[in-house]
Amino acid sequence: MLYYVLMLSAAAVVLLASDVRSESGRWAAFFLLSAATGGVARLWLQSPLPHVWFETAQMINQTVTPYGVLVFSLVYAGGATAALTKRRRLKGWLLLPPAAMLGYALLRGDLEPNYPLMLIWAAPYYLTACVLLIASYLRETDRRMRRGRLITVVITVPTLLAVVAFIHVAKAIWPDFDFFGYISAFFVYSFAIALLCVFVYGVLGVKVRVESDSLAGAMKAAGMGTSLLNHTIKNEVGKIAISVENLRGAPEGSGTDEQLAVIERAAAHLMEMAGRIHSRTRDFAWNPARCDPASLMREAMAPLRERFARQGVTVVEAYDETEPLFADPVHLREAIGNVLANAADAMEAGGALETQIRRDRRDIVLSVRDNGAGMPSELLDRVWEPFYSTKQGKGNYGLGLSYVHQVLRKCGGRAEIDSKPGAGTVVRLRIPRSRKMKEGAGP
């Protein structure tokens, strides 16, 4: 019994420690802790403590856990993009049945759960949670996110269905049925699958990486900070070099002001980035503000227009009217610039580039599509990894898309990529709408 409590409590602590700012992680930890009270109740039943302690823990377990599970599923299925006001209101309404049941139990002075009554509201809570989790997996289009959602379904849905069958249905029919052994077996199953996946794929944002040499790990972290700064310097110096080359070949008074403005912006951006990126052992500085996505896209495009023209790349821009984003404009502009630079690298012999900004029900989507060589599917899962690059050469540190991934996580959104050999590549930056984010908020 003690192992059961420790297992669920440890899982909750790990989720909170990995990213306390993740709302889905917080709610997952909440329902795991409330589920652990079932084991606490059994321990108290076998102890010399007053019987009311057992009844209280059991009532909390049976009423709070279904609420926590359902709210977790709502948050997880909706991601960081659901309307916060509506979500808060829904959480309040969903709290009414468990609160009413607790109140009724206190009024009648009997804390023994009324299982036929719980079958009416708690079982639908669990079943709805299962439907939401499965639907979130089926609806997901991003390969990496889809795999994560499938893992969550495999871990949680069988156990939730077992809770409905062995607790709510069985106890409503056979009041003396002892469900705890069956439920414990399913929780052990969930814990074992989660423990396996946390080392291989990651679960709810938690992934364990075994580092054989702590010094080597520290050196790699420090090296990444330096490489990330070098990557930024390379990009900005390249923009400055292109503008200087354009100035040398331009007649006096013909567009020199625009080229000088590019140099000025690149130099200012370089200084700001150098001041903000302390090292990869720490998180980079994040200073969110309201910013216009179309303006950021145009600013990121400006220093690359000459390069696209010289390479014979046609550029089509389509920017819908959207509400402002709440993000760090320096880092988001740099992330967009990295995606555009990758598109330029993919079309050195010419091609077509399409940049688009649109909004859907949840996100503002910034997309960059090129018709370059494209990539095979087996490489797509690795493109976000630090130091991984499909390009060869001294200037390629393999950090551009890794940085993009980190920036989008800071925005509370995500980056997606689709690519096929010979068909080009499209990168989508999905950023939540109407989100009042704190620094570094994540899904």
Neighbours of 288 (CB within 10 A): 21
Residue-level pLDDT at 283: 53
Residue 437 contacts residue 411 (beta carbons within 8 Å): yes
Residue-wise pLDDT tens digits, 14-53: 777 777 777 888 888 898 888 888 878 878 877 888 888 8
d(CA 295, CA 31): 43
d(CA 163, CA 125): 11
Q: How many residues does the chain have?
A: 443
| Amino acid at the residue 69 | V
Residue 351 zone, left/alpha/beta (φ > 0; ψ -120 to 50; rest): left
Residue 406 contacts residue 336 (beta carbons within 8 Å): no
> Element (H or E) spanning 432, and its range?
strand 424-432
Question: What tokens were used for 78?
Answer: 């909706």
d(CA 334, CA 327): 12
Residue with tokens 């709610």: 27
In terms of Cα–Cα distance, which of 334, 11, 346, 381 is closest to 159?
Answer: 11
Question: DSSP readout, 368-383?
Answer: EEE-S----HHHHTTT
Q: What single DSSP character describes residue 251?
A: P
Question: DSSP readout, 50-72?
Answer: -HHHHHHHHHHHHHHHHHHHHHH
- Secondary structure (3-state) at 165: helix
d(CA 184, CA 197): 20
| Amino acid at the residue 239 | K
CA distances 34 to 19, 37, 62, 69, 425, Å, are 20, 5, 9, 10, 45
| pTM higher than the cut 0.75 | no
In terms of Cα–Cα distance, which of 366, 348, 394 is closest to 231?
Answer: 394
Digits of tens for pLDDT over the chain (443 positions)?
A: 566 677 778 777 877 777 777 788 888 889 888 888 887 887 887 788 888 888 888 888 888 999 999 999 988 887 544 445 566 788 889 999 999 988 888 888 778 888 888 889 999 999 999 999 999 889 887 777 788 888 889 989 999 999 899 888 988 888 888 877 788 788 788 878 877 776 555 555 544 444 444 434 444 554 555 555 556 666 666 666 676 666 666 666 556 667 667 766 766 666 666 555 543 334 567 788 899 999 999 999 998 999 999 999 999 999 998 889 888 999 999 999 999 998 998 898 899 999 999 988 888 999 999 999 888 877 777 777 765 565 655 444 445 688 888 888 888 888 898 888 888 999 999 998 865 444 444 43
Residue-level pLDDT at 237: 64
Question: What tokens were used for 242?
Answer: 């292109």
In terms of Cα–Cα distance, which of 441, 194, 182 is closest to 326?
Answer: 441
